[in-house]
């Protein structure tokens, strides 16, 4: 009788051990199954520098990378912009048919139904990756670092905005990609129909010498070497004058925007100012129009 009980206990213990080992193997077999912060997907098509089609869980989705903006190549109402083809070709070479890891910020999709994601070439070690991991493995960041995209802060998805702005400044300082003024000048000479439009970054103009018909300007950070004789006061005054040409000025603290010439337009401090070319862009970014 005692032997039978002992055999039953041994069998039950063996079964429990097997179940524990099986659970451990399942948990370690795929590092993506235990954490929903990163989703593994396959890039099946590249539309342009920052827009993809991905296969995720057996379904196909259109995806817009967040935190960045590459020059236009396929916009129905705009000509191909400077460095747009280079950015598109770069993304095709880097991502086509590649396995990537998708990370969401706040929004799931935009108004067009596109997934909004950070695209990782390799999954980072945690949900709070280091700056080194971001620079090395996040494709959105690599676009900015290598001069293929602008850092573009778009509420409410701004988790890495400050870091992307630093990456952009480094790219500007080193004249990488779209910040190469010689290439820009050559492009404008051969593409007179494509008015240079460099979008604004967090209310900071990008370069005085590249105003377009909408009033957008580029960042004066790249003008430091050309304007070393300009005093700090004169420089700040020039930036304010350039920004005053923007049509829409928003307050990132109150999330309200004003049209140039309206009562509250000039009352927004530079610290809280965000600029847009069109009202639709401000609304899409989560801002509402001022009542007066």
Identify the active-site residue in 114, 136, 183, 260. Answer: 114
Interatomic CA distance for residues 172 and 23, integer angstroms? 51
- Whether residue 244 contacts residue 258, with contact meaning beta carbons closer than 8 Å, is answered with no
Closest C-alpha to 275, from 210, 207, 213, 215: 215
3-state helix, strand, coil split of the chain in percent (to 5) is 40, 20, 40
Identify the active-site residue in 64, 117, 123, 198. Answer: 64
Question: 144: burial class by Cβ within 10 Å (0-12, 13-18, 19+)?
Answer: buried
Bridge partner residues of 275 (DSSP): 249
Interatomic CA distance for residues 174 and 256, integer angstroms? 35
64 catalytically annotated:
yes
Question: 56: burial class by Cβ within 10 Å (0-12, 13-18, 19+)?
Answer: middle
40 catalytically annotated:
no
DSSP, collapsed to helix, strand or coil, labels residue 92 as helix
Cis peptide, bond prior to residue 161, ω within 30 of zero: no
117 catalytically annotated:
no
- Whether residue 165 contacts residue 172, with contact meaning beta carbons closer than 8 Å, is answered with no
Interatomic CA distance for residues 261 and 280, integer angstroms? 18
Interatomic CA distance for residues 240 and 273, integer angstroms? 11
Identify the active-site residue in 72, 86, 117, 196. Answer: 72
Closest C-alpha to 143, from 110, 115, 176, 173: 176
Catalytic amino acids?
Answer: 64, 72, 114
């Amino acid at each position: 009788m005692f032997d039978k009980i002992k055999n039953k206990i041994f069998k039950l213990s063996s079964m429990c051990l097997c179940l524990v080992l099986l659970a451990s193997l399942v948990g370690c077999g795929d590092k993506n199954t235990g954490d929903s912060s990163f989703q593994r997907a396959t890039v099946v098509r590249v539309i342009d520098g920052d827009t993809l089609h991905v296969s995720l869980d057996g379904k196909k989705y259109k995806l817009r990378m967040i935190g960045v903006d590459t020059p236009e190549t396929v916009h129905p109402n705009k000509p191909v912009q400077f460095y747009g083809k280079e950015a598109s070709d770069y993304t095709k070479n880097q991502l086509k048919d590649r396995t990537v890891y998708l990370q969401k910020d706040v929004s799931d999709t935009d108004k067009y139904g596109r997934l909004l994601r950070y695209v990782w070439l390799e999954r980072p070690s945690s949900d709070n990756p280091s700056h080194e991991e971001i620079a090395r493995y996040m494709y959105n960041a690599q676009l900015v670092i290598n001069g293929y995209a602008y850092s573009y802060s778009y509420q409410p998805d701004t988790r890495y905005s400050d870091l992307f702005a630093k990456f952009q400044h480094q790219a500007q300082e080193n004249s990488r990609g779209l910040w190469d003024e010689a290439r820009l000048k050559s492009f404008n000479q051969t593409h007179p129909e494509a008015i240079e439009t460099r979008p604004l970054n967090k209310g900071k103009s990008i370069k005085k010498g590249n105003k377009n018909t909408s009033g957008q300007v580029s960042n004066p950070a790249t003008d430091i070497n050309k304007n070393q004789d300009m005093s700090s006061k004169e420089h700040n005054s020039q930036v304010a004058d350039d920004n005053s040409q923007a049509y829409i000025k928003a307050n990132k603290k109150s999330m309200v925007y004003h049209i140039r010439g309206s009562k509250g337009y000039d009352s927004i401090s530079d610290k809280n100012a965000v600029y847009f070319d069109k009202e639709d862009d401000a609304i899409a970014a989560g801002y509402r129009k001022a009542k007066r």
